[in-house]
Amino acid sequence: MTYNKKNIEDIDVAGKKVLVRCDFNVPLKDGVITSDKRIVEALPTIKYLLSKGAKVILCSHMGKPKGEVVAKYSLAPVAARLTELLGQNVELAADTIGADAKAKAAALKEGQAMLLENTRFDKREEKNDPEFAKELASMAEIFVNDAFGAAHRAHASTAGVADYLPAVCGYLIQKEIGVMGKALADPERPFVAILGGAKVSDKLNVINNLLTKVDTLIIGGGMAYTFLAAKGYGIGTSLFDETKVDYCREMMAKAEEKGVKLLLPVDTVVAKAFPDPIDAPIDVDVVPSNEIPADKMGLDIGDNTKKLFADAAKSAKTVVWNGPMGVFENPTLAKGTIAVAEALAESEAITIVGGGDSAAACEQLGYASKITHISTGGGASLEFLEGLELPGIACLQDK
């Protein structure tokens, strides 16, 4: 995949109707936005287009309405927040490609923006239906994709419309592919990748791809126990994927053959059972990773592992991190994830954090400003690390 894509500055937008796919899939509680981070991140692209006299038609999905019109997934709160942030009225269309959307789009003046209703209110969106994409494209003259969080989906509003309009990226996607693309294609070395999370199966192809690129690969989180089992260690009642033991052995052999350091936890925080509820107080012990008692499960990395992983991160020139080291939602079992976030914040390296829990950890701990780049897309950043082509980026014009 080529990462050198045209962006909004490479195309003349003055007086043109520009369809902009954003990621406005924000968290809501009782109809109120609890974090407007995704809206704020879209502002540089929107403001640039407005300043150049474009007529801006914004669109996004929210939630999983499965092709039905579901009131709680309306983008009305997003339109209200955009109106506040931009200091100008951003009208919400009553539909996505219906009469109201088309009338509002046709009436736009230069330097004005509007928002279409949730693209997923139409079941053709997720099927990348050409007719739906064509109708969406018919309202505009240029397509801008700035929704990295949805770029791994081949939907009508992320990829399909590019069949009918000249397509470029906004600043958010430009930054994602610039920082992450360089890290994977031409990293400053030593290059260290830290992978966590529950299941090996989620990261199979990521591990395989990264072993051809990194100097050190660190494995933590629930997925580490299948690797420990592959080394012949007893792992008690820890999370374990029996079908992936041979794969883990292959990956350890591949690391050795490529001269890549593969670091696994050397000590483990164990408890009798998974916390229930997830944030409940819990009694824990710390044991060496090859001495996990038969009746206990590993739920976080221990102090020696924290130091091992932190030292590797601090000695790197480029670090990519995706996935927590333990049960991050529990204060007792979040310490490994916190230690990794701290190490990245203190590192002099280029630090890139994939979306999801790793990003949440950096933000909650106040380290976000010390990280070079926090990705806005969990699934998209994982597929990026796998070396897959992202449909929402592949469809954009190359420079």
What single string gives the DSSP state of each residue in 145-174? Answer: E--GGGTTS--TTTTGGGGTS-EEE-HHHH
**From CA 363, how far away is CA 332, in angstroms rounded?**
19
Active site residues: 38, 199, 356, 379
CA distances from 30 to 26, 83, 117, 207 (A): 13, 20, 19, 40
- Which letter, b or e, does each residue of 376-389 get, where b requires 16 or more Cβ atoms within 10 Å of its Cβ? bbbbbbbbbbbebe
Query: Which pLDDT does position 195 carry in this prediction?
Result: 95
**From CA 338, how far away is CA 13, in angstroms rounded?**
44
Confidence bin at 293 (pLDDT 50/70/90): very high
Domains of the chain, each with CATH number or no CATH: 8-172 (3.40.50.1260), 179-386 (3.40.50.1260)
Find the mean pLDDT for residues 81-101.
98
Edge to edge, the sheet with strand 285-288 lists 285-288, 267-271, 297-301
Query: Which pLDDT does position 2 carry in this prediction?
Result: 61
Query: Which pLDDT does position 355 carry in this prediction?
Result: 66
- Please give the mean pLDDT across all residues of the chain: 94
Query: Which pLDDT does position 387 carry in this prediction?
Result: 79
- Cα–chain center distance at 75: 21
Taking the CB of residue 394, how many other CB atoms lie within 10 A of it?
A: 16
Residue scoring higher pLDDT (185 or 338): 338
Confidence bin at 63 (pLDDT 50/70/90): very high
| Per-residue model confidence as pLDDT tens digits over 340-387 | 999 999 999 999 998 678 888 898 889 999 999 988 777 788 788 887
> Cβ(282)–Cβ(296) under 8 Å?
no
pTM of the model: 0.85
| Per-residue model confidence as pLDDT tens digits over 227-248 | 999 999 999 999 999 999 999 9
Query: Which pLDDT does position 1 carry in this prediction?
Result: 54
CA dihedral 346, 347, 352, 357 (to 10 degrees): -40
The 8-class DSSP code of residue 186 comes to S
**From CA 78, how far away is CA 277, in angstroms rounded?**
32
